[in-house]
Amino acid sequence: MKQVRPYPQVIVTHKAACSLKAGHPWVFEGEVMRTEPAPTDGRAAANGDLVDVFEENGTWQGAGLLSERSKIRVRVVSRNANDRLDKAFWARRVEWAWQHRVTTMGTLALPGCEPDTTCCRVIFSEADGFPGLVVDRYEQVLVAQVGTVGMGRLRPLIYPLLLQTLRADGQDVRAVYERNDSPSRAKEGLPLEKGWWDAAGAPDSARLVVRENGLSFDLDLENSQKTGFFLDQKYNRRAVRQIARGRRVLDCFCHVGPFGLNAAAGGADFVRGVDVSATALDLARENARLDGLDARMDFTCADVLEYLPELVGDRRRLRAEGGPFDLIVLDPPAFTKSRGTVEHAARGYRQINYDALRLLPRGGYLATCSCSHFMTRDLLAKAISQAAHDANVQLKQVEERQQAPDHPILWGVPETHYLDFFVFQVV
């Protein structure tokens, strides 16, 4: 590289350089050989700074954000040496991210329903070039989660750009709520906090009613999981809606009820939602009432891992819960968040699918998924196959799906592919 750049430098190993060349944006702590001051003014690197990454042989590998307390020491944001990492650079990134949502989701709304971009993920961290930043849109409110010190420092720049870009496209977006309460922030030395970003104004409440797939949802942005809802299953919920007519549905790990509500909206005779969180079920009941579906829905507060075997072993309990069921939805939380616990997680996925298959009759349907990138598509498929073998049934695949396109999968970065979803008929 001939040009002199104004950033401190991080010198990395050949192994790290090979990973960067393959497309992965992370440099790990053990791959950093040393840091050097900026060549223009001698400025030393500070936590959260933009830095240049050089291989030990002097080859420039990109520019990224430094995290001095994280095992992921640098997250690369650009591999173009001509990029000026200024306001215009981040404005382009925001524009590209929003246009991706408009392009991939803008024409997919159900007939007579709201545009699919009124509730969607606007920024998906590394997949959109904003490492450590997630931003979800719930109609007039953006909910942001910042997980890295570099993105924390860039918030005052990026949030206004988001509001500006959306408003320029005619979107009515009025406020930003920050859910910076993930325990993973401790790895970056960041405090846990949540609340309205004052520069955009603060509505009276963090409760709001939004619509997705033509259904109303009462969301608690302050206290619900993640950013308040799980937008990544938007189109998978439609897949369940399409096969629900005339069926009795068991929606396991139902959270605030989106799969069950879609099933009921699709004409299910009855839906039983089950979740361990009483708070989530209160919202699920309210959502059923809001959508006029409460007469065909009921909810049970229970641990699904215990609940399913109880139904298998007690037919009287099964009937009391509204069964027998001929469509079961399994949408569990991630059973593993590390590579070291994948084998244990696989046993968990195998068990819940086995229990569900024992409850389903021949001709019934199973919708099942995993939301952990460590539990790869092939590992999940193996667990489901073993469950079918153990239950002495055969599965006819209806469809295989992934996360919605507002959660884009960036090739070369396997962490961005985390959701796999299957629909089967039991034969």
DSSP for 160-214, please give it: HHHHHHHHHTT----EEEEEE--GGGGGGTPPPEEEE-GGG---S-SEEEEEETT
Residue whose token pair is 């349907």 = 365
Predicted local distance difference test score (pLDDT) of residue 2? 61
- When pLDDT is averaged across residues 243-250 and rounded to a whole number, the result is 98
Q: Is the pLDDT of residue 85 over 80?
A: yes
Q: Report yes or no: 69 and 189 within 8 Å, Cβ to Cβ.
A: yes
Predicted local distance difference test score (pLDDT) of residue 11? 98
Q: Please report, as a single letter, which amino acid is at residue 48.
A: G
Q: What is the pTM of this model?
A: 0.94
Closest by CA position to 2, among listed 28, 39, 48, 36: 39
Predicted local distance difference test score (pLDDT) of residue 226? 81
Predicted local distance difference test score (pLDDT) of residue 143? 97
Q: Among 55-64, 85-94, 122-131, 221-230, which stretch is predicted with the lowest mean pLDDT?
A: 221-230
Q: Is the pLDDT of residue 335 over 90?
A: no
Predicted local distance difference test score (pLDDT) of residue 84? 93
Q: Is the pLDDT of residue 334 over 90?
A: no
- When pLDDT is averaged across residues 182-209 and rounded to a whole number, the result is 88
Q: Is the pLDDT of residue 403 over 60?
A: yes
Considering the segment(s) 87-205 as one domain, its CATH architecture is 2-Layer Sandwich (3.30)
Q: What are phi and psi of 233, to 5 degrees?
A: -100, 15
Q: Pick the residue with more confidence: 397 or 373?
A: 397
List, for residues 67-79, the tens digit of each pLDDT value. 999 999 999 999 9
Q: Is the pLDDT of residue 1 over 60?
A: no
Catalytic residue ranges: 371
Residue 174, token pair as written in the block: 């009025």
Q: Percentage of residues in the chain with pLDDT exceeding 90?
A: 90
Q: Per-domain residue ranges for the chain?
A: 9-78, 87-205, 230-426
- When pLDDT is averaged across residues 157-162 and rounded to a whole number, the result is 97
CATH 3.40.640.10 fits domain 230-426: no
What class has domain 9-78? Answer: mainly beta
Closest by CA position to 393, among listed 384, 406, 402, 401: 384
Task: Give Cβ neighbours of residue 420 (< 8 Å, ≥ 6 apart).
Answer: 369, 370, 375, 376, 377, 380, 400, 401, 402
